[in-house]
Amino acid sequence: MLDAPRPEVREAVARCRTAGIRPVMITGDHQLTAKAIAEDLGIAAPGDEALTGRELEKLSAEELEDYVDRISVYARVSPEHKLRIVQALQRRGHVVAMTGDGVNDAPALKQADIGVAMGITGTDVSKEASDMVLLDDNFATIVAATEEGRVVYINIRRFIRYILGSNIGEVLTIAAAPLLGLGGVPLSPLQILWMNLVTDGVPALALAVEPGRPIVMQQPPKNPQESIFARGLGAYMIRIGIVLAVVTIAMMLWAYNYTQANTAGGTLDPDRWKTMVFTTLCLAQMGHALAIRSNTRLFIEVNPLSNPYVLISVVLTSILQLLLIYVPPLRNFFSTHYLTGFELLVCVGFSSLIFVWIEVEKLFLRWWRGRKSVRRQAA
């Protein structure tokens, strides 16, 4: 008689290992049976030690901690043994996910960082004690959920990187205009609201559904205690915000002098430079959205059809921005001014510098990491 494991579990266990997740089998079955199944699935290697419940009872809490990092199979265990194993792993600094279906599993499910109950065979007690219920009772689904969770976290960081990086640049630009004596704030409250809702919000929502890459399950887990701004996110936002502000302020100074020089002859409205600042900020964010889809790959290396929402949002938002300039009712409502082809081209040229900066930054980081890798190999 054989209670055969599901065929997809072997691949799921292998994916766990490449993702830095160590599967551990805790069962009430005989030690030899448990070892045979664990070796078949790749949870344990031939010759690996297995610990029985009777042996575990003889261990103190400190001694058990020394075992849990190298033992992947526990056999003939009781519910209190499961709880002790989970606690020992947590004391070693591990994040523990525990699966179970019985009433006796409830203490360990409750103690684990995330308890996963079986939705089909699981008891009501185990479901209440767990954090997540597995509807198909399939271990491979847990691995798929782990991958999806990593993709969601990456997209949250990408969303924050885009929103806050752009907002820092906007704040610095708006604050710089009065300090430079340019005659007030360049943007009206309605224009600022437009940027926050449309040119910031629409591409950001599209970036939030960016699909994951296969490499996401080939990376080690991140520290759950780390800040959302860790691993360079905070520095990136400040850096891009400053670059965006510098580019826009340079364009603002040029536009102001250009407008004032032509106002003397009565050919231009004296506030036309404000519309140029408004347009440059909005279009710069479109370039930012296109470049930020990947932290390491260039824009031309990313398949645009893998997330068509980004391309659609950028095109749609750019068209809406142009409508604010060239449709009279919208121009009057948003207090913008008509821009000539030359002036619009200037705005596009300055705004594209953000896209170019991010792409060059990727090339630089790629070169720097390659150089460090060569040094390590030489050492």
Tell me which of 75, 107, 142 is where a domain ends. 142
Tell me which of 121, 142, 163 is where a domain ends. 142
Residues 138 and 278 occupy one common structural domain: no
- The domain that holds 354 is classified in CATH as 1.20.1110.10
* Model pLDDT, residue 374: 80
Tell me which of 118, 142, 166 is where a domain ends. 142
Residues 46 and 126 occupy one common structural domain: yes
The confidence band for 1, taking pLDDT boundaries of 50, 70 and 90, is: low
The confidence band for 13, taking pLDDT boundaries of 50, 70 and 90, is: very high
Tokens of 208: 């939030």
* Model pLDDT, residue 18: 92
Is residue 322 one of the residues assigned to a domain? yes
Is residue 1 one of the residues assigned to a domain? no
Is residue 133 one of the residues assigned to a domain? yes
Is residue 131 one of the residues assigned to a domain? yes
Cα–Cα distances (Å) from 162 to 70, 75, 157, 247, 304, in that order, read 42, 50, 9, 17, 18
* Model pLDDT, residue 376: 78
Indicate if the pLDDT at residue 379 is higher than 70: no
Is residue 2 one of the residues assigned to a domain? no
State the residue range of the domain holding 118.
8-142
Is residue 263 one of the residues assigned to a domain? yes
Residues 191 and 268 occupy one common structural domain: yes
Residues 43 and 185 occupy one common structural domain: no
Residues 125 and 206 occupy one common structural domain: no
Cα–Cα distances (Å) from 14 to 20, 138, 302, in that order, read 10, 15, 27
Is residue 3 one of the residues assigned to a domain? no
Residues 136 and 184 occupy one common structural domain: no
Contact between residue 110 and residue 125 where contact means Cβ atoms under 8 Å apart: no
- The domain that holds 50 is classified in CATH as 3.40.50.1000
Residues 213 and 99 occupy one common structural domain: no
CA separation for the pair 374, 379 (Å, rounded): 9
Taking only the tens place, the pLDDT of each residue in 58-104 is: 999 999 999 999 999 999 998 889 999 999 999 999 999 999 988 98
pLDDT above 70 coverage of the chain, percent: 98
The confidence band for 268, taking pLDDT boundaries of 50, 70 and 90, is: low
Taking only the tens place, the pLDDT of each residue in 269-290 is: 778 899 999 999 999 999 999 9
CA separation for the pair 25, 38 (Å, rounded): 7
Is residue 371 one of the residues assigned to a domain? yes
How big is the chain, counted in residues? 379
Total number of domains constituting the chain = 2
Query: Cβ atoms within 10 A of the Cβ of 374, count?
Result: 10
Residues 49 and 96 occupy one common structural domain: yes
Task: Of 136, 146, 122, give the one whose Cα is nearest residue 12.
Answer: 146
136 Cβ partners below 8 Å, 6+ apart? 119, 120
The confidence band for 369, taking pLDDT boundaries of 50, 70 and 90, is: confident
Residues 168 and 32 occupy one common structural domain: no
Indicate if the pLDDT at residue 239 is higher than 70: yes
Residues 137 and 49 occupy one common structural domain: yes
Residues 171 and 234 occupy one common structural domain: yes
Residues 132 and 104 occupy one common structural domain: yes
The continuous run of DSSP H or E covering 134 comes out as strand 132-134
